[in-house]
Amino acid sequence: MNKNYYVKVENLAKRFPGESKGKDLTVFENCNFGIEKGEFVCIIGHSGCGKSTILNILAGLDQATDGYIFMNDKEVSGPSLERGVVFQNYSLLPWLTTLKNVTFGVRARFPQWSKERVIEHSMKFLELVGLKDSAHRKPSELSGGMRQRVSIARAFATQPNLLLLDEPFGALDALTRGMIQEELIKIWEETKQTVFMITHDVDEAILLADRVLLMTNGPYARVAESVTVSIPRPRERSSVIHHPGFYQIRNHLVDFLVSRSKELSGAIQSDSNIQSFTPSIAPKEVDPIAEGMDVQSQEVGTQEQVISA
Amino acid sequence: MNYIAAHRHILISLLFLLCTLGIWEWGSQPPEATKAMSEYELLMGGVDQEARVPPPSAIIERAFDELSDPFYDAGPNDKGIGIQLAYSLYRVLMGFFLAALIAIPIGFVIGMFPIMHKALNPYIQILKPISPLAWMPLALFIIKDSEASAIFVIFICSIWPMLINTAFGVADVRKDWINVARTHELSNLRTAFTVILPAAAPTILTGMRISIGIAWLVIVAAEMLVGGTGIGYYVWNEWNNLDLTSVIFSILMIGLVGMLLDLMLSSVSRWVQYKE
Ligand SMILES: Nc1ncnc2c1ncn2[C@@H]1O[C@H](COP(=O)(O)OP(=O)(O)O)[C@@H](O)[C@H]1O
Ligand SMILES: [Mg+2]
């Protein structure tokens, strides 16, 4: 990788031992990508290709079979407050109130702070997600959308250097999702945190991300493309779809999910020569708007790339 | 109208009580003297009125007597019901809390480390089914004190449900919550106290409720064996005196106190309960 990224993922692979002496199950391998400081990166891929596994390895909750992750030139080995995680199922502690769930994180991050300061700081972030009035309610008394907001408030309040979100809006209805997406943009623009987010929603990715990473289907999945979303900010849900480049990007992403994710899947693995001679395979960088590509030419281009690889 | 509808179960309860007491009262009346004795009764020398189960009215009367002065102490064989119950409660609570002190930490370790579960499980499985009273002779021999032996028996019977429930509750804490602790870099000790303990508390409390229930069952039997003081000894003593009225009264008191013990723990358990 030529660029000096803030987070660097090199040749990451995850294998699970096969059943009774069978071949190992390789979920993904040869994953290479980077994230710049302050960048918002989304990753899209079909269910089961290993997105959550990558995120958990980034979080330090899971171990890679091969490869390395560096953050700020230090190798990631184990969980750290430097990296905050928002899990798909919110992961709030149900016996604590909304506020206590947030102070739980803040106290762990800033143990030297006074009680008042911790509460004040936590309330600020609850206010950012519009939950100031629910501070003393338990998670069970909140709707799914409100719970996810608390979870986001907790993650942002600990001010990690890298924020990891695993399909944070997957379980929410469209209306709630839209509202929280906008809150997320707002809070991200205010804090300028580096974000890595899994989503299965193409529109969500375009709305939020600076760059979208595309993963091929598993097994032997890998990050095949890195698509730049060069739509200027601030973006809004209602206006972003009217940007001339919106459908160029959208078509590119949808087309990947519909056909190329399957075509490219296992492509490298099937030719063991190539695998051994090219240890580092960077994702193909694509900027659909700048290149003025339409879906047709892109399809041809990618196939050529596979052949020439 | 609504009020009555919502409280119909109380009416049914009262009706049930009245019927039972009525049948009991009527059934324990001595037969009329004019009635001819059966051949069998003639052979046995008439109806023995002493052997009848006393009617509820007699028991209520005794209850008033005993409860108006529950703490009198007139020598080793004549103490008020309150004193006897206090002895039993003291032994039960002592044994129970000693057991909690040991069972909950060990349960934590077993629940947190699967290897400890595998290592200790055989011992738990073999010790658990032993009737607590079977320990009594050994306890008396080793401890040489009937009071302490009774407490030991309570200790040994309360330990298992608490140990097993704690281990289960701790092992069953949702992975996500542990991950929350891990991503916040909590130490093992802080994770145990701020995440695992509250998460497992309802299960642990269930174990404690089972334990105290068993302990209260066992104390009566244990005190019948060791004698001296306590509600179990009291029941046995009254039986030896052939005072069935007192026996029945104390049986009811055993039930009442057992219920109160359970109510106490169930209110604690409501307090630590959480909804996901
Ligand atoms: N413990 C495990 N043993 C074997 N396979 C596993 C295990 N955990 C996950 N997997 C496999 O890893 C793959 C990736 O899972 P995951 O990262 O959750 O996918 P995604 O988040 O992209 O839907 C899945 O196909 C799953 O079957
Ligand atoms: Mg997933």
Q: What is the pLDDT of residue A300?
A: 41
* Residue A65 phi, psi (nearest 5): -80, -40
Q: For residue A237, how many other CB atoms are within 10 A of its CB?
A: 15
Give the number of the atom of ligand 1 that is nearest the alpha carbon of residue A46.
22
Is this prediction's pTM over 0.95? no
Domain boundaries, chain A: 7-79+166-175+195-308, 83-159
* Residue A54 phi, psi (nearest 5): -60, -45
Q: How many separate helices (H) and strands (E) can be counted in chain A? A: 13, 11
| DSSP helix/strand/coil, A42 | strand
Handedness of CA A87, A93, A98, A100 (dihedral sign): negative
Residues in B closer than 8 angstroms to A156, CB to CB, are none
| Cβ A65 under 6 angstroms from ligand 1 | no
Cα A246 to Cα A20, A46, A181, A239: the distances in Å are 49, 22, 17, 10
Looking at residue B240, what DSSP letter applies? H
Q: What is the pLDDT of residue B263?
A: 96
> How far is the centre of ligand 1, averaged over its atoms, from the C-alpha of A218 (Å)?
9
Cα B276 to Cα A157, A263, B198: the distances in Å are 23, 42, 13
Low-confidence ranges of chain B (pLDDT < 70): 1, 31-51
CA–CA gap between residue A31 and residue A221 (Å, rounded): 8
Pairing of strands A223-228, A194-198: unpaired
Mutation pick for ligand 1 pocket among A53, A57, A58, A85 (CB with most ligand atoms within 8 Å): A53
| CA-wise closest residue to B234 among B242, B222, B246, B252 | B246
Give the number of the atom of ligand 1 that is nearest the alpha carbon of residue A49.
22
Q: In sequence order, what DSSP letters do the residues of A109-120 get, joined into one string? A: H-TTS-HHHHHH
Q: Which fold has domain B57-271?
A: MetI-like fold (1.10.3720)
Question: What tens-digit pLDDT sequence spans chain A (309 residues)?
Answer: 557 899 999 999 999 988 767 788 899 999 999 999 999 999 999 999 999 999 999 999 999 999 999 999 999 989 999 999 998 888 999 999 999 999 999 999 999 999 999 999 999 999 988 899 999 999 999 998 899 899 999 998 999 999 999 999 887 888 888 888 988 888 888 888 899 999 989 999 999 999 999 999 978 898 999 999 999 988 888 888 898 889 999 999 999 999 888 888 765 544 444 444 444 578 888 888 877 755 444 444 444 444 333
Just give the CATH number of A7-79+166-175+195-308: 3.40.50.300
Q: How many CA atoms lie within 13 A of A228 on its CB side?
A: 13
> How far is the centre of ligand 2, averaged over its atoms, from the C-alpha of A225 (Å)?
19
Q: What is the token pair recorded at B241?
A: 């005196």
Which residues from B are below 8 Å from A when comparing CB atoms? 176-177, 179-180, 182-186, 194-195, 198-199, 201, 272, 274-276
In B28-80, which ranges are continuous DSSP H helix?
39-43, 56-68
| Cβ A165 under 6 angstroms from ligand 1 | no
Q: For residue B77, how many other CB atoms are within 10 A of its CB?
A: 10
Q: What is the pLDDT of residue A174?
A: 85
The string of pLDDT tens digits covering residues B22-69 is 998 888 877 665 555 566 655 655 555 556 788 888 889 989 888 888
Asked if residue A188 lies in contact with residue A86, where contact means CB atoms within 8 angstroms, the answer is: no
ipTM: 0.84
Q: What is the pLDDT of residue B220?
A: 95
Domain boundaries, chain B: 1-52, 57-271
Count interface pairs A-B at CB distance under 8 A: 54
CA–CA gap between residue A210 and residue A208 (Å, rounded): 7
A45 touches chain B (CB under 8 A): no
Q: Give first-to-last CA distance, chain B, whole Å.
A: 37
Do you know the residue count of chain A? Answer: 309
